[in-house]
């Protein structure tokens, strides 16, 4: 009782007042559908300089152990365009 936060939970199952009792739950909150413009990753132009993922406010540019970026995480990207602005190599294009 009163211990769930998922979208199917009834009012008797949801936590009181919408409190969240687990840490790190931002991962499960998909903000990608807020996006009106979408960044496109142009791999052949990318020099892996590392500027773009540092400025992303949503951690929407995944970087693996090899310290190289991958394609965008569109579940998290809100389309703010900051990454495209800082890219010196035209490797990100807003569409």
Partner 1 sequence: MGIRERLSGNEAAAIAMKQINPDVVAAFPITPSTEIPQYFSTFVSNGEVDTEFVAVESEHSAMSACIGAQAAGGRAMTATSANGLSLMWEMIYIASSLRLPIVMSLVNRAVSGPLNIHNDHSDAMGVRDSGWIQLFSENNQEAYDNLIMAHRIAEHKDVLLPLMVCQDGFITSHSIENIELIEDDKVKEFVGKYQPEHYLLNDKEPIAVGPLDLQGYLFEHKVQQAEAMRKAKDVILEVAKDFEKMTGRKYGLFEEYKMEDAELVVVCMNSTAGTTKATVDELRAKGVKAGLLKIRVFRPFPAEEVAKALTKAKAVAVLDKADSLNAVGGALFEDVVSGMFVSKVNVPTVNYIYGIGGRDTTVQDIESVYNDLSKIVENGDIGNPYRYLGVRGDK
Cβ contact 42:90 at 8 Å = yes
CB of 18 to partner 1, least distance (A): 5
Residues that bind partner 1 (CB under 8 A): 7, 9-11, 14, 16-21, 23, 25
CB of 1 to partner 1, least distance (A): 11
Q: Which is nearer to partner 1, 17 or 88 (CB)?
A: 17
Q: What distance in Å separates the CA atoms of residue 62 and residue 67, rounded to the nearest whole number?
A: 10
CB of 86 to partner 1, least distance (A): 28
- CB atoms under 10 Å from CB of 28, counted, come to 10
């Amino acid at each position: 009782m009163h211990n769930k936060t998922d979208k199917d939970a009834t009012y008797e199952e949801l936590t009181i007042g919408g409190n969240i009792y687990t840490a790190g739950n931002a991962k499960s909150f998909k903000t990608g559908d807020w996006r009106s413009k979408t960044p496109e990753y142009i791999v052949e132009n990318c020099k892996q300089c590392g500027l773009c993922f540092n400025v992303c406010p949503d951690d929407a540019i995944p970087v693996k152990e090899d310290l190289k970026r991958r394609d965008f995480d569109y579940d998290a990207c809100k389309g703010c365009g900051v990454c495209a602005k800082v890219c010196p190599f035209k490797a990100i294009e807003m569409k």
